Amino acid sequence: MLNKALVKRPIVTEKSVALGKTGKYVFLVGKNTAASEAKKIVEAVYGVQVEKTNVINVKSKERKLGRSVGKKPGYKKIIMTLKKGQKLDVLPQ
């Protein structure tokens, strides 16, 4: 059984929207999610065929506000390249 909570949501930014025009879509996933698991979930939920997956681990960063220091949490994102001629409608309307 596929755990749909592993793929949290699509990332919608200017850069990811531009990638969407070339058939690449960016998703925010859990830290322990493998690329193969994410690929299966996206194929099952959206009904498309994924050709390639690229994983990016964004590290946590230190942020300062006045004298106090905090941490911005890190996250993991996956770029899915779909087969030719397939599209996803992930942009909010």
Q: pLDDT tens digit string along 38-59?
A: 999 999 988 999 999 999 999 9
Number of domains in the chain: 1
**Can you give the residue range of the structural domain that contains 25?**
4-82
pLDDT over threshold 80, residue 2: no
Q: Domain of 9: which CATH number?
A: 3.30.70.330
In a domain, 73, yes or no: yes
Four-point Cα dihedral 71, 53, 11, 88, nearest 10: -170
Mean pLDDT calculated for residue range 80-91: 88
pLDDT over threshold 60, residue 93: no
In a domain, 93, yes or no: no
In a domain, 66, yes or no: yes
Helix or strand holding residue 51 (H, E) = strand 50-58
In a domain, 92, yes or no: no
Q: What percent of the chain has pLDDT over 90?
A: 75
Amino acid at residue number 54:
N
In a domain, 88, yes or no: no
